Structure 1
Amino acid sequence: MTYVMLTVEQLRHTKATNPFVIKNPDQVTNAFTSTDKQMAADKLKLTEREQIEEVKNLVRGHDMTSISSKDLREIGLALNRTGLIDDETFWVFSNALLATDENSKPTLQDVKFNALALFNERYEEYRDFLESNPRDVNKGTLEWQQALVAANHAISALSYFSNSTRADLAIDERA
């Protein structure tokens, strides 16, 4: 990956932001990892076979450990439109790397990265920040932390569905 890094002095004169740097880009499992179809379906609150098929079709051909911001934004938008993720969680998907140019426009949209590691590290960093700065904790910061948790659950479920080799990922129906 190629990044343009700005100095503090340069940042003072621009709205540009550097991308979030993933410390462990090879991470494929974490506390949010979905290990079976029911867990993955529960994380996205999928209850109907049709919903699962839609999600499977949405992520078909995508690898959550090597995906671009552009693709994540498209997937997030589809999930948001169907009500599977809320607006704040969509924002996490659509601004994954947090990189912007001097006009605050997203950059690095076609650069592939590990979304599982990125979302987990962003959550852990924010959680640690709130724990270290309890005076900064308020309704808004807790809502943002929850959006990061929801994004982690969603990306984990999407990873499960995109990596599954089973043809039938439907939830077991109970009478």
Structure 2
Amino acid sequence: MSTSITPPAPPLQANGLTVTSTGSSFVIRHPDQKNALHPIKTSNDAKTIFKITSDVGLNRIKEFLKKVDLTAISTRSLAAIGKTLNDNNLISDAVLAQFKAGSMEYDNKGKQINLDKPFNALALFDQKMDDRTTYANANPKEARTSAFRRETSGIQEANHVISAMSWFAHSGSGSLSVSVHA
């Protein structure tokens, strides 16, 4: 009696998402990226993104974020940071949802996996925004739908927040700062 082994199906790839028989994950094209592709240029821009209107609570947030490495952060850590920022009205619910999605790794039943595995949030959010723009340009009818625009807005806002966090890490400002390790 002969038995044959069927090889697994090759992975399906679309918009950075790789889907296999065991689950799906977002494949970051530039995992070694150290800087935001669309960096924040001034402290006022960064403060606007974080919705900071006064210095109340700023020192607590600064202390909370100062040891964050955006190039090696886990989904669990990014979600916790997002929750704290959201609880302090510094980011929207849409950004919080993006942070909770984190590395976008799921098993074949749709459950998030690898919540403690580090990934490069700078590269991931830049790539998600780039992929979204590329898709919108190729599919203008879909890009005009309210669902697509709403999701794109959340990705764009999350990308801006990650860029602002990176700006604070690299600035000499006495304001909110985040450490990004090379």
The number of aligned residues is 162
Question: For structure 1, which runs of at least 5 residues remain unmatched after alignment?
Answer: 171-175
Of 137, 141, 148 in structure 1, the residue corresponding to residue 148 of structure 2 is 141
Deviation, structure 1 residue 55: 2.5
Q: Which runs of 5+ in 2 are unaligned?
A: 1-7, 13-18, 177-182
Question: Shift of residue 60 of structure 1?
Answer: 2.0
Instruction: For 1:162 and 1:75, locate their aligned partners in 2 and report how far apart those are by CA, in whole Å.
Output: 15
Match of 1:129 in 2: 135
Q: Would the aligned equivalents of 1:61 and 1:162 in 2 still touch at CA under 8 Å?
A: no
TM-score of the two chains, using structure 2 as the length reference: 0.77
Q: Which has the larger radius of gyration?
A: 2
Aligned equivalents of 1:92 and 1:37: distance in 2?
23
The structure carrying a bigger strand percent of its residues is: 2
CA apart distance, 1:35: 3.6
Alignment of 1:5-154 (within 5 A): 7=10, 17-137=23-143, 138-154=145-161
Deviation string 1:21-80 (CA, Å, 9 cap, x unpaired) is: 111122233443124433321221212112432321221211111111111000111122
Q: TM-score, with normalisation over the residues of structure 1?
A: 0.80
Distance in 2 (CA, whole Å) between partners of 1:127 and 1:159 is 22
Percent sequence identity is: 27
Separation in 1, partners of 2:129, 2:170: 23
Secondary structure, in 3 states, of the residue corresponding to 2:135? helix
Q: For the Cα contact (< 8 Å) 1:62–1:162, is it kept in 2? A: no
Which of the two has greater helix per residue? 1
